[in-house]
């Protein structure tokens, strides 16, 4: 090939067996770029076996020039330039010893690239050759994904070290990548070798989550995986070569390799290195017999309560101490529940110390260890059991493993595998299990690497629940919950498991029925639901449950033995809605407390003494309980039940408390300031504090501890107090409570009529997150009817949708036959139950339906304008009339906004014209964009946040027809387009920034702002009967002559009168034709009825027809007394004030602009507005 002038690129090219006088493959007199090319077996009778460069600039990258002949077999440079990078260049010496030709740019080699069969025309590369994975990925032209043969251009040879540049896979040199043989795989099984024989047994199952590494022949890790749910693992897509697999066993001992005669059932990994033998893989081989057995190994002991000893990891010593007798030692933090052992590795034989098992006491002494192996200073192995001397049983040596073991209530003593003594004192069932205990009587003594048996999950408690409260025996829908002592491996995963899967895990002494399912509700609780009770005969007090050992239930580390113990007789209740545990929700807490789910932690102790947190939900009684798991021993804290729901700061504020003290691991059961019971605790202990009528009981790890009686005041809240920084109350759960319906709100988005019609919405709100029964997705009419009943007919058809965990929205799709009106009541049916996320069903009837028909909300109130400059005002629309292309046109809203949540919105009809809308200060300013303190600037397919006239953020393009909104939410200003938040102001808004007005500014001629709307604001007030009054929003306006002006907006208004009206009948007071007949009060049963007489301080719904506001003038005298009933009250205030503290208030809601607003109990309330006020105890308020 000859090139003259211009430029050329050669890539993915193979040039072989060509001959010329100069340049056997190419004679170049032009600019030339060569990428991933192979020049081989070419010849020149004169010079340049591959290339001859007579002019121009030539670059050669990722290429091979080899086995060419002639003077200068690779290339000859006569004129111009020639450079090489990451190429195999014959005779060049490589980049380390570059001898030419041309310039070395790095990465070049001068070694045989090792073609597979060049003599027969096969110029592919052999595996592990020097040109494999030796190129530079950055030099490969873009979009070059295949080689000359169409094979993938980037393929990694795992057995070849990467010598090129870039991230693996690295491109090969030359036109052809190394060919890929059929890919192979390595894998099989990680199993729990429970009997430690090194051979897989039918009842031994896989262990999931074990990390395994794949190593190449150089010992480099080239892949990592985790064993799956059944213990399986697999490394795929391997090329031929030599590999090893390494198991990261996380301190679990590996079974002896090569046991038995079946390679498919043995363990193949070295005990010390965790490596398999080298595995030689041929193309396409599936080597699926590389197994590893993990034995149940001991775990390190964590110590507590050390006395005159040093703790180093799990070892103890008395260096620096001189024990005066047996008064040095420590106890383990956790204890054995059932079979287990403690062991230590002997270091010295010239000191005296003891290791063993005992009850969790706090006196480090040999005599306090119930079962003690004593290693004395003369090398003797001695057994003591408490104060009883059992004898000398041989000697011990350095390197021996000493073990004290309990199995089947029998204690044995071992030196290595030699049984030295079997106790004739059987282990009973100690109150707290057995802890590992150590004691010393010599200085400079050690108990090294003290370990205990891995735990096994023990069944703590079984109980049944009758969720539908149907009968006093097991029926369809009832549940059986199996509670374990700790977190398990949850065999079968988180989903619902059928009867077959349940039966593989558990055996039942009596049949449960024809059909049932199960599910792990938590890592330590499995719940079985009865689907068909046919043939069932289970009885409380006699039936038992036993893990079957067919599917192993292990502790969460999966390094322990399976659960094996039969349950005690089943306990529980029928006809009860007790439910399983419900996670706590902390709603009110001290600022020095951090909340993380169900946990609370003190973050600072600047203030001395206890600080407090309270639960969101209360329990009505008489049955209540709260549970917690102990995580730490170091800090002081308490958890309990309290009849008060206000924050205090003292432990004595809690009626009934579990008080955890770090000193000596002691806890106290408290009745206010009185100590009722004292005992000890350990990390991992689970406590339950419960009431049943007037009895308060404490249960520790499923075992009853103590109870007392008291005159319990219900309802009870969960209360937690913390003393020191770092103190934590963890994993707090409580008795489930029903999610209550707190509001039912209807709305008419299309403003079509004052009654329910197609498209109208009814939103049912609960006081906590629910299980969103039958959701997510659209619920049919039948599904809605199955979970809710209505006291009126909703219509011929409707659908439902859970908006979130707390709100269910019903949409009317056919209003035929509807009789729904304000006052309609909704009730959960219980079939299927609407429950809290983890608990009991909703059961309370809703309050009467509230809301509005015929009011579109929350689109807002039209803005009224003043001081227009260079604009034409047409209702809610502004049009610029000036031809100047400046922001010199606009108008100011007449309304003043005081501190609170507000918005202004506008519709964009021509996105090419620039305009701005937002909030400015209260001064009636001009029309410049600099008058806008917080606003949006939109036009020319551009949307920006402007503050003080300056662009401070970008919201992206805004299309024609979009609704833009500037919204104040608390201390933030949010910028919204079509209901989607597009930005947040970088500047917080505070009380000093109010009052505000709507401000606008338009730039281009004929630019518009259409349908400009705003939120409601409180009405203006004046004390002069001659002063003008501006009725900008809801809120009464008074003058000095006790005349009140009550402004009413189109649609529904929730109002009250701040005085006793001289004219009290509704028909006379609200005589305006737009109001007549549309005034409602609240009846005693909570429903709405047409109002007849109007009283000061009572709340009323008033509907205004048409599009114009109405002002009602009221004469009278201020009222001075209001009566409240238990529950919800619709009330108002005689002047701007908060509800007096003498009345306990739990919730306050107002209704403005078609939506409800929640207020704090101490909020200042506005005259003229009606408020829903909830008080648990009624009473009278003197204003």
pLDDT, tens digit, for every residue of 506-531? 888 888 888 999 999 888 889 998 88
Q: How large a percentage of the chain has pLDDT more than 90?
A: 33
Whether residue 384 has pLDDT greater than 90: yes
Domain spans, the chain: 2-139, 184-295, 299-452, 459-572, 582-734, 741-851, 861-1014, 1037-1182
Give the confidence band of 551 by pLDDT, cuts at 50, 70, 90.
confident
What phi, psi does 786 have (nearest 5°)? Answer: -75, -20
Question: Contact, 381 vs 352, CB < 8 A?
Answer: no
Amino acid 1132: pLDDT: 92
CA atoms within 13 A on the CB side of 578: 23
Q: For residues 342-358, give the mean pLDDT.
A: 94
Whether residue 992 has pLDDT greater than 70: yes
pLDDT, tens digit, for every residue of 396-445? 999 999 999 988 788 999 999 899 999 998 876 444 468 899 999 999 99
| CA 661 – CA 669 distance, rounded (Å) | 11
Terminal CA-CA length for the chain: 106
pLDDT, tens digit, for every residue of 9-54? 999 999 999 999 999 999 999 999 999 999 999 999 999 999 999 9
Question: Contact, 412 vs 440, CB < 8 A?
Answer: no
Higher-confidence position of 1041 and 947:
947
| CA 544 – CA 510 distance, rounded (Å) | 8
| CA 57 – CA 6 distance, rounded (Å) | 11
Question: Contact, 24 vs 73, CB < 8 A?
Answer: no
Handedness of CA 310, 311, 312, 318 (dihedral sign): positive
Q: For residues 745-752, give the mean pLDDT.
A: 63
Amino acid 1155: pLDDT: 62
Question: Contact, 630 vs 682, CB < 8 A?
Answer: yes
Amino acid 666: pLDDT: 85
Average pLDDT, the chain: 83
| CA 28 – CA 1 distance, rounded (Å) | 8
Amino acid 335: pLDDT: 73
Alpha helices in 996-1076 (DSSP H): 1066-1069
Amino acid 207: pLDDT: 82
Amino acid 560: pLDDT: 60
Residues 6+ apart with CB under 8 A from 26: 1, 2, 3, 10, 15, 32, 39, 50, 51, 52
Higher-confidence position of 336 and 1122:
1122
pLDDT, tens digit, for every residue of 879-895? 999 888 888 899 998 77
Higher-confidence position of 795 and 1109:
795
Whether residue 570 has pLDDT greater than 70: no
CA atoms within 13 A on the CB side of 207: 30
Question: Contact, 66 vs 42, CB < 8 A?
Answer: no
- How would DSSP label each residue in 683-716? TT-EEEEEEETTEEEEEETTEEEEEEE--PPSSE
| CA 1168 – CA 1183 distance, rounded (Å) | 15
Amino acid 558: pLDDT: 57
Q: How large a percentage of the chain has pLDDT more than 70?
A: 87
Domain 861-1014: CATH architecture, name and number where available:
Sandwich (2.60)
CA atoms within 13 A on the CB side of 213: 13
Whether residue 545 has pLDDT greater than 50: yes
pLDDT, tens digit, for every residue of 1070-1117? 887 778 667 888 777 666 678 888 999 999 988 887 777 787 888 888
CA angle 511, 517, 522 (to 5 degrees): 115
| CA 508 – CA 506 distance, rounded (Å) | 7
Q: For residues 130-152, give the mean pLDDT.
A: 89
pLDDT, tens digit, for every residue of 251-294? 678 888 988 888 889 999 988 889 999 998 887 889 999 999 98
Whether residue 857 has pLDDT greater than 80: no
Is residue 167 classed as helix, strand or coil in its secondary structure? coil
If you ran DSSP here, which 8-state letter would residue 1031 be given?
-
Token pair listed for 342: 């403690």
Is residue 366 classed as helix, strand or coil in its secondary structure? helix
E strands, 147-257, in order: 184-193, 211-215, 221-226, 232-238, 241-247
pLDDT, tens digit, for every residue of 391-408? 999 999 999 999 999 887
| CA 583 – CA 839 distance, rounded (Å) | 9
Higher-confidence position of 735 and 541:
735
Alpha helices in 405-517 (DSSP H): 499-505
Q: For residues 963-967, give the mean pLDDT.
A: 91
Question: Contact, 1001 vs 927, CB < 8 A?
Answer: yes
Q: If we measure between CA atoms, which residue out of 1141, 1134, 1120 comes closest to residue 1166?
A: 1134
Q: If we measure between CA atoms, which residue out of 537, 535, 531 comes closest to residue 515?
A: 531
Give the confidence band of 578 by pLDDT, cuts at 50, 70, 90.
very low
Whether residue 461 has pLDDT greater than 90: no
Question: Contact, 438 vs 329, CB < 8 A?
Answer: yes
Amino acid 822: pLDDT: 62
**Cα 140 from chain centroid?**
43
Instruction: Give the domain 184-295 fold.
Output: Immunoglobulin-like (2.60.40)
What is the 3-class SS of 749-817, one letter each residue?
A: CCCCCCCCCCCCEEEEEECCCECCCCCCCEECHHHHHHHEEECCCCCCEEEEEEEECCEEEEEEEECCC
pTM of the model: 0.41
Of the candidate CATH numbers 3.40.50.300, 2.60.120.10, 3.90.79.10, 2.60.120.920, the domain formed by 582-734 belongs to: 2.60.120.920
What is the 3-class SS of 316-356, one letter each residue?
A: EECCCCCCCCCCEEEEEEEEECCCEEEEEECCCCCCCEEEE
| CA 674 – CA 685 distance, rounded (Å) | 23
pLDDT, tens digit, for every residue of 209-239? 889 999 987 788 889 999 988 889 999 988 7
CA angle 861, 862, 866 (to 5 degrees): 130
| CA 1100 – CA 1170 distance, rounded (Å) | 7
- How would DSSP label each residue in 1032-1075? -SSS-EE-TTSEEEEEE-SEEEEEE-SSEESS-BHHHHT--TTT
Question: Contact, 191 vs 206, CB < 8 A?
Answer: yes
Instruction: Give the domain 299-452 fold.
Output: Jelly Rolls (2.60.120)
Amino acid 220: pLDDT: 85
If you ran DSSP here, which 8-state letter would residue 864 be given?
P
Q: For residues 846-870, give the mean pLDDT.
A: 61
* C-alpha separations of 112 from 68, 94, 293 in Å: 12, 11, 46
Whether residue 1023 has pLDDT greater than 50: no
Higher-confidence position of 296 and 13:
13
Same topology between domain 299-452 and domain 582-734? yes
Give the confidence band of 1021 by pLDDT, cuts at 50, 70, 90.
very low
């Amino acid at each position: 090939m000859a090139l003259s002038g211009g430029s050329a690129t050669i890539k993915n090219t193979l040039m072989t067996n060509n001959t010329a006088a100069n340049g056997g493959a190419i004679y170049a007199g032009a600019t030339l770029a060569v990428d991933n090319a192979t020049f081989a077996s070419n010849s020149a009778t004169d010079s340049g076996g591959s290339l001859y460069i007579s002019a121009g600039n030539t670059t050669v990258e990722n290429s091979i020039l080899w086995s060419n002949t002639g003077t200068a077999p690779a290339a000859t440079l006569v004129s111009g330039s020639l450079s090489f990078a990451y190429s195999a260049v014959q005779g060049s010496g490589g980049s380390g010893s570059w001898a030419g030709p041309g310039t070395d740019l790095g990465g070049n080699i001068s070694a045989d690239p090792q073609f597979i069969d060049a003599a027969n025309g096969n110029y592919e590369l052999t595996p592990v050759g020097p040109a494999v994975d030796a190129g530079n990925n950055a030099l490969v032209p873009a979009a070059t994904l295949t080689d000359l043969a169409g094979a993938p251009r980037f393929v990694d040879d795992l057995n070849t070290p990467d010598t090129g540049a870039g991230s693996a896979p690295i491109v090969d040199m030359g036109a052809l990548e190394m060919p890929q043989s059929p890919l192979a795989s390595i894998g099989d099984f990680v199993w729990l070798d429970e009997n430690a024989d090194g051979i897989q047994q039918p009842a031994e199952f896989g262990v999931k989550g074990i990390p395994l590494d794949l190593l190449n022949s150089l010992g480099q890790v080239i892949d990592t995986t985790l064993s799956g749910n059944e213990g399986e693992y697999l490394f795929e897509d391997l090329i031929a070569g030599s590999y090893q697999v390494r198991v990261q066993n996380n301190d679990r001992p590996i079974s002896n390799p090569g046991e038995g005669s079946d390679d498919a059932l043995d363990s193949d990994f070295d005990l010390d290195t965790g490596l398999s033998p080298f595995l030689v893989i041929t193309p396409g081989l599936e080597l699926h017999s590389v197994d590893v057995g993990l034995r149940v190994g001991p775990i390190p002991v964590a110590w507590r309560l050390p006395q005159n000893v040093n703790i180093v990891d799990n070892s103890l010593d008395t260096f620096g101490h001189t024990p005066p007798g047996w008064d040095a030692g420590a106890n383990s933090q956790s204890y054995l529940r059932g079979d287990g052992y403690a062991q230590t590795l002997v270091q010295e034989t010239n000191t005296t110390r003891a290791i063993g098992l005992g009850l969790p006491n706090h006196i480090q002494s040999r005599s306090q260890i119930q079962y003690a192996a004593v290693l004395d200073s003369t090398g003797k192995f001695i057994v003591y059991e408490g104060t009883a001397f059992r004898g000398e049983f041989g000697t011990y040596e350095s390197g021996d493993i000493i073990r004290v073991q309990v199995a089947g209530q029998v204690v044995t003593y071992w030196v290595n595998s030699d049984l030295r003594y079997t106790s004739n004192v059987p282990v009973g069932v100690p109150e707290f299990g057995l802890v590992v205990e150590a004691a010393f009587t010599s200085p400079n003594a050690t108990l090294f690497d003290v370990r205990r048996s891995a735990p096994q999950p023990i069944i703590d408690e079984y109980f049944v629940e009758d969720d539908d409260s149907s009968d006093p025996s097991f029926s369809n829908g009832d549940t059986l919950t199996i509670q374990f002592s700790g977190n398990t491996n949850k065999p079968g995963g988180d989903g619902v498991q059928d009867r077959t899967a349940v039966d593989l895990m558990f055996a039942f002494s009596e049949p449960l029925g024809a059909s049932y399912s199960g599910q792990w509700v938590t890592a330590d609780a499995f719940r079985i639901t009865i689907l068909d009770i046919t043939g069932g005969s289970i009885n409380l007090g006699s039936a038992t449950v036993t893990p079957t050992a067919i599917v192993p239930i292990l502790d969460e580390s999966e390094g322990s033995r399976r659960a094996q113990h039969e349950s005690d007789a089943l306990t529980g209740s029928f006809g009860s809605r007790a439910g399983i545990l419900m996670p706590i929700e902390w709603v009110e807490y001290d600022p020095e407390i951090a909340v993380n789910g169900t946990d609370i932690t003190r973050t600072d102790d600047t203030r001395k003494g206890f600080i407090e947190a309270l639960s969101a939900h209360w329990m009505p009684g008489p049955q209540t309980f709260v549970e917690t798991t102990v995580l730490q021993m170091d800090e002081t804290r308490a958890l309990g039940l309290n009849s008060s729901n206000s924050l205090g700061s003292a432990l004595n504020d809690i009626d009934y408390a579990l008080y955890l003290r770090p000193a000596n691991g002691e806890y106290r059961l408290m009745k206010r300031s009185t100590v009722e019971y004292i005992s000890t605790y350990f990390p991992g202990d689970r406590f339950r504090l419960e009431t049943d009528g007037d009895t308060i009981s404490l249960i520790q790890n499923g075992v009853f501890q103590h109870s007392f009686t008291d005159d319990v005041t219900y309802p009870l809240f969960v209360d937690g107090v913390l003393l020191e920084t770092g103190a934590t109350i963890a994993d707090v759960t409580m008795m489930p409570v029903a999610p209550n319906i707190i509001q039912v709100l209807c709305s008419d988005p299309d403003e079509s009529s004052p009654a329910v019609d197609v498209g109208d919405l009814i939103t049912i709100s609960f006081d906590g997150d629910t299980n969103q029964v039958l959701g997510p997705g659209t619920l049919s009419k039948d599904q809605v009817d199955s979970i809710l009943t209505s006291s009126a007919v909703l219509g011929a058809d409707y659908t439902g949708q859970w908006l979130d965990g707390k709100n269910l929205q019903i949409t009317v799709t056919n209003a035929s036959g509807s009789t729904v009106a304000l006052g309609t009541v909704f009730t959960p049916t219980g079939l299927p139950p609407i429950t809290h996320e983890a608990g009991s069903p909703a059961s309370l009837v809703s309050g009467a339906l509230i809301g509005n028909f015929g009011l579109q909300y929350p689109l807002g109130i039209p803005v009224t304008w003043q001081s227009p400059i260079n604009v034409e005002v047409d209702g809610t629309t502004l049009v610029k009339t000036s031809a100047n292309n400046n922001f010199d046109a606009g108008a100011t809203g007449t309304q003043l906004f005081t501190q609170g949540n507000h918005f202004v919105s506008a519709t964009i009809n021509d996105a090419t014209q620039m305009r701005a809308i937002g909030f400015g200060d209260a001064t009636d300013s001009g029309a410049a964009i600099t008058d806008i303190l917080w606003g949006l600037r939109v036009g020319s397919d551009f949307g920006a946040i402007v503050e003080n006239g300056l662009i401070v953020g970008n919201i992206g393009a805004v299309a024609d027809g979009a609704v833009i909104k500037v919204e104040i939410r608390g201390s933030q200003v949010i910028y919204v387009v079509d209901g989607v938040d597009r930005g947040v102001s970088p500047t917080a808004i505070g009380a000093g920034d109010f009052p505000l007005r709507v401000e606008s500014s338009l730039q281009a001629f004929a630019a518009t702002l259409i349908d400009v709307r705003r939120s409601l604001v409180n009405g203006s007030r004046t004390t002069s009967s001659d002063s003008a009054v501006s009725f900008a929003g809801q809120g009464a306006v008074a003058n000095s002559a006790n005349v009140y002006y009550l402004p009413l907006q189109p649609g529904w208004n929730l109002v009250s009168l701040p005085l006793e009206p001289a004219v009290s009948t509704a028909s006379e007071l609200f005589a305006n034709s737009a109001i007549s007949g549309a005034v409602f009060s609240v009846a005693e049963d909570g429903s709405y009825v047409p109002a007849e007489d109007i009283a000061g301080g009572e709340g009323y719904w008033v509907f205004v027809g048409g599009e114009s506001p109405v002002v009602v003038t009221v004469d009278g005298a201020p009222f001075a007394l209001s009566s409240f009933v238990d529950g919800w009250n619709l009330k108002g205030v005689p002047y701007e004030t908060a509800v007096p503290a003498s009345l306990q208030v739990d919730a306050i809601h107002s209704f403005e602009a078609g939506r409800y607003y929640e207020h704090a109990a101490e909020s200042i309330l506005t005259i003229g507005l009606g408020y829903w006020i909830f008080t648990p105890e009624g009473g009278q308020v003197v204003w």
